[in-house]
């Protein structure tokens, strides 16, 4: 794909038919773009073909133009943009599968732009999703898509804005190709900040859910979000991000949306913890991945090696692990030594 590629002609392939992948396939296809949706589950693929519907987070109809694929090499054939909408901890496996599929056709792939729509860090390696892609698929242009994009609102046709991050010139090609009348994309060259903003806000969203579940009020939540963005920025800048990115859509914008929405998985997890559920029971009830859990563990492990103080992340981890109660967690934060802002 080159920078001159007309946006309407791009072949978009979405890898992953979960909530976010299905939402993106619906979003781009209803805007008249060419879309394939890949799922590894043949029964699910057949159900989508038969009903023409995706089931979550809302039940909506997919345009008949969307191709539903289970065969990965066939799905990738002629792809201009491949959007990965898997989980953070499956990104390595999925990337390896893409590499194997493209290896079957030496002429394919290298012109394809990879777009990570996944918000999280890989456990133990602490790698961002773009770094995993670059490791497994060297030579491919890689972008990150992140922002305040609650899937249920997008599926209701409500307007949203997001950020696509990478380096020119393919950055602007992707911006043009994925923008729609109801999905405004901003370009950003700080891929580190964009990815970390989307990942780290999930930790604060769990804490915000705990605050709401305990009915601590708006003053407490405002303080939590403000100190949360400071904590996110501290780690992100230490990892090479620009602080201004954390004040934008991919940082503060995503944080506010996630911490305010009753449909945010991480916020709902925090509420469940506040009501006395264990992390395991809460996740089972959610029936879906809450990226704040592995990201919290990765960040706390990373903060030790970097000698960074991240009190909100640390207290969220202790709560997730059952080492403290939500009530004690809040009091621990309130009892920290007085400091300047």
- Is 201 catalytic? The answer is yes
Angstrom distance (rounded) from CA 16 to CA 13: 10
Which one of the listed residues 127, 201, 221, 275 is annotated catalytic? 201
CA-closest candidate to residue 140, choices 112, 177, 171, 104: 112
Contacts with 245 (C-beta within 8 Å, 6 or more apart), sequence order: 188, 190, 193, 194, 197, 236, 251
DSSP 256-292: HHHHH-TT-HHHHHHHHHHTT--HHHHHHHHTS--TH
CA dihedral sign, ordered 36, 37, 40, 43: negative
Q: What are phi and psi of 255, to 5 degrees?
A: -60, -50
Find out whether 44 and 115 touch, Cβ atoms under 8 Å. no
Instruction: Report the catalytic residues.
Output: 201
């Amino acid at each position: 794909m080159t920078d001159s590629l007309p946006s309407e002609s791009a072949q978009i392939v979405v890898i992953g038919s979960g909530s976010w992948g299905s939402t993106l396939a619906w979003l781009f296809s209803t805007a008249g773009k060419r879309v394939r949706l890949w799922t590894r589950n043949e029964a699910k693929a057949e159900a989508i073909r038969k009903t023409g519907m995706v089931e979550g987070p809302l039940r909506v109809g997919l345009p008949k133009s969307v191709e539903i694929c289970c065969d990965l090499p066939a799905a990738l054939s002629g792809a201009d943009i491949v959007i990965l909408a898997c989980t953070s901890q499956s990104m390595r496996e999925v990337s390896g599968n893409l590499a194997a599929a493209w290896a079957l056709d030496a002429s394919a792939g290298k012109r394809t732009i990879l777009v990570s729509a996944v918000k999280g860090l890989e456990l133990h390696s602490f790698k961002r999703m773009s770094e995993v892609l670059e490791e497994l698929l060297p030579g491919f242009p890689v972008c990150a898509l992140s922002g305040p994009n609650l899937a249920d609102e997008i599926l209701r046709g409500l307007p949203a804005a997001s950020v696509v991050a990478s380096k020119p010139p393919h950055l602007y090609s992707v911006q043009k190709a994925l923008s729609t009348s109801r999905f405004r994309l901003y370009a950003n060259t700080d891929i580190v900040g964009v990815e970390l903003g989307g990942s780290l806000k999930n930790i604060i969203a769990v804490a915000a859910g705990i605050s709401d579940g305990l009915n601590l009020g708006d003053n407490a939540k405002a303080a939590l979000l403000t100190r949360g963005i400071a904590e996110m920025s501290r780690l992100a800048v230490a990892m090479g991000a620009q602080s201004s990115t954390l004040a934008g859509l991919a940082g503060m914008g995503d944080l506010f949306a996630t911490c305010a929405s009753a449909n945010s998985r991480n916020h709902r997890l925090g509420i469940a913890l506040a009501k006395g559920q264990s992390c395991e029971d809460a996740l089972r009830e959610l029936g879906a991945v809450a990226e704040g859990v592995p990201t919290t563990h990765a960040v706390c492990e990373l903060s030790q090696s970097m000698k960074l103080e991240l009190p909100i992340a640390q207290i969220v981890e202790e709560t997730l692990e059952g080492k403290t109660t939500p009530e004690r967690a809040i009091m621990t934060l309130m009892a920290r030594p007085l400091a300047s802002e």
